[in-house]
């Protein structure tokens, strides 16, 4: 199969950055956006002033708000917020073309990974997952980036990689879809924990410990969900975890930092135009872990705090008083 024209579903920062990658070299790329002001700006001035202000976009990018236009493409990059992906795919024409899922999370209502949701809604479409340590503004600016493309159909994965791989956007293939998805979902929750530590002024040592112990939780959960250890230790797992837990460019880290500084989590999430996926993932991840008997104390702590069931001071006291055990646990 020949994959040339790509459609990107989602006109936020990450969707726009991926459209920039897809359009490099003047290759036709369609960007679907819900917001008419985004569509108009992309088409008229080749910018997305709402989500990536000041960055000139490739002229090969054309924006639309009509789902019917998506049928023109050979494959879709699906970059909608995780909790809205099912609804968006249900509204789309779903013409049995490849779907590359670029969002990170677990569907809150069903507890399903996003590739499972996509298979339910579009059973005739082959599904791949794109994940890894990526800040949208850096990708859009052409700074060096490496990502994982997971696809069970290896020849299709190679074809998709050939279409989006660039010298500054290095794409590594795997067939471990579950492992790639779990890494991207769990790291968002752990980034909130690291942000809380930053907001409370607990220091760099504490953050390093949270990353390391969080990675142990991610690995336990990922392997229980059918992922492989090496995938979780790669770009879509450990790589993304380190990036997301280390910078206020991360929406999840920023949310945690604000909570650590004493702001109300509910009010913070209500005021944000962009989505901190970890806030939606935390409760369902915690629920699945408990159902399966997977020990994830950091995830449980974040979920408990976001649900308003514990104050931050008490939360930190509980976390710090947890009995030490063997590092392999």
pLDDT tens string 142-185: 999 999 999 999 999 999 999 999 999 999 999 999 999 999 99
CB-based contacts of 140: which residues, under 8 Å, 6+ apart?
13, 16, 17, 20, 52, 55, 57
Average pLDDT over residues 245-257: 95
Instruction: Provide the whole-model pTM.
Output: 0.94
CB-based contacts of 78: which residues, under 8 Å, 6+ apart?
9, 10, 85, 88, 89, 99, 100, 101, 102, 103, 118
Q: Is the pLDDT of residue 314 over 80?
A: no
Q: Is the pLDDT of residue 74 over 80?
A: yes
Residue 66 zone, left/alpha/beta (φ > 0; ψ -120 to 50; rest): beta
Q: Is the pLDDT of residue 252 over 90?
A: yes
Catalytic residue among 187, 263, 270, 309: 187
Q: Is 60 exposed, middle or buried (0-12, 13-18, 19+ CB in 10 A)?
A: middle
**Radius of gyration for the chain, computed over Cα atoms and rounded to the nearest angstrom:** 19
Helix (H) or strand (E) holding 169: strand 169-174
Instruction: Say how far apart CA 163 and CA 177 lie, in whole Å.
Output: 19
DSSP state of 166: B
Q: How big, in percent rounded to 5, are the helix, strand and coil portions of the chain? A: 50, 15, 35
pLDDT tens string 255-274: 999 999 999 887 887 766 66
Annotation says 309 is catalytic: no
Average pLDDT of the residues of the chain: 93
DSSP β-bridge partners for residue 328: none
Average pLDDT over residues 1-15: 93
Q: What is the DSSP string of 104-147?
A: --B-TTT--BHHHHHHHH-TTS-EEEEESS--HHHHHTT--EEE
Q: What is the pLDDT of residue 274?
A: 66
Residue pointed to by tokens 């907001």: 199
Order of strands, sheet of 61-64, starting from the edge strand that comes earlier in the sequence: 61-64, 29-32, 6-9, 75-78, 99-101, 127-131, 145-151, 169-174
**% of the chain at pLDDT higher than 90:** 85
């Amino acid at each position: 199969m020949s994959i040339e024209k790509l459609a990107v579903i989602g006109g936020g920062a990450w969707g726009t950055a991926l459209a920039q990658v897809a359009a490099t070299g003047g290759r036709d790329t369609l960007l679907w956006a819900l917001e008419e002001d985004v569509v108009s700006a992309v088409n008229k001035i080749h910018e997305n002033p709402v989500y990536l202000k000041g960055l000139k976009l490739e002229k090969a990018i054309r924006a639309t708000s009509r789902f019917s236009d998506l049928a023109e493409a050979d494959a879709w990059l699906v970059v909608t917020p995780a909790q809205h992906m099912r609804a968006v795919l249900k509204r789309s024409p779903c013409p049995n073309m490849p779907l590359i899922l670029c969002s990170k999370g677990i569907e809150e209502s069903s507890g399903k990974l996003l590739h499972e949701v996509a298979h339910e809604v579009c059973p005739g479409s082959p599904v791949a997952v794109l994940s890894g340590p990526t800040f949208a503004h850096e990708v859009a600016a052409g700074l060096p980036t490496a990502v994982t493309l997971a696809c069970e159909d290896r020849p299709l994965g190679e074809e998709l990689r050939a279409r989006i791989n660039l010298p500054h956007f290095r794409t590594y293939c795997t067939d471990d879809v579950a492992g790639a998805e779990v890494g991207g979902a769990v790291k968002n929750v752990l980034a909130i924990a690291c942000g809380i530590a930053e907001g409370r002024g607990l220091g760099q040592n504490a953050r390093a410990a949270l990353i390391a112990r969080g990675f142990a939780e991610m690995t336990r959960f990922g392997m229980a969900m059918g992922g492989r250890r090496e995938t979780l230790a790669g770009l879509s797992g450990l790589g993304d975890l380190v990036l997301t837990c280390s910078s206020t460019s991360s929406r999840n880290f920023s949310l945690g930092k604000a909570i650590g500084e004493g702001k109300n989590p509910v009010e913070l999430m209500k005021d944000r135009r962009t989505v901190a996926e970890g806030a939606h993932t935390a409760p369902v991840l915690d629920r699945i872990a408990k159902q399966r008997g997977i020990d994830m104390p950091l995830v449980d702590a974040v979920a408990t705090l976001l649900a308003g069931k514990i104050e931050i001071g008490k939360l930190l006291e509980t976390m710090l008083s947890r009995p030490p055990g063997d590092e392999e646990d």
